[in-house]
Amino acid sequence: MSFLVEDNPARHRFEILVDDALAGFTAYLPRGEVLIFTHTEVDAKFQNMGVGAALMRATLDQVRERGGRVVPRCPFMAAYIERHPEYADLVTAAP
């Protein structure tokens, strides 16, 4: 099983593909370098397979590479960052 996470700026979301099928996404509101994450969804047939965690990790890594920051209004992302404090430095207040 291969994961690919890509930003889809036209739809304001990062999407995760599993073996070329859209398995989930995390939606955001862009505010300059800050992305306000509002909602994460993983397709039912891909749940409990680590897809959500892979989506969070790759999304946060890409935001870090771009020098951006996040506002995790999405409970799933907030919980992920709480469990993975190595991403806490990306969190900022809403602009």
Instruction: Collapse the DSSP code of 7 into the 3-class scheme (helix H, G, I; strand E, B; otherwise coil) and give the result.
Output: strand
- Which pLDDT value is given to residue 59? 98
Instruction: Give the domain ranges of the chain.
Output: 3-90
- Which pLDDT value is given to residue 4? 96
- Which pLDDT value is given to residue 94? 82
Predicted model pTM: 0.95
pLDDT tens-digit profile, the chain (95 residues): 789 999 999 999 999 999 989 999 999 999 999 999 999 999 999 999 999 999 999 999 999 999 999 999 999 999 999 999 999 999 999 87
In terms of Cα–Cα distance, which of 74, 71, 95, 75 is closest to 87? 71
* Domain 3-90: CATH superfamily, name plus number: Gcn5-related N-acetyltransferase (GNAT) (3.40.630.30)
User: Any idea which residue has 């806490």 for tokens?
Assistant: 88
What is the DSSP code string of 18-86? ETTEEEEEEEEEEETTEEEEEEEEE-GGGTTTTHHHHHHHHHHHHHHHTT-EEEE-SHHHHHHHHH-GG
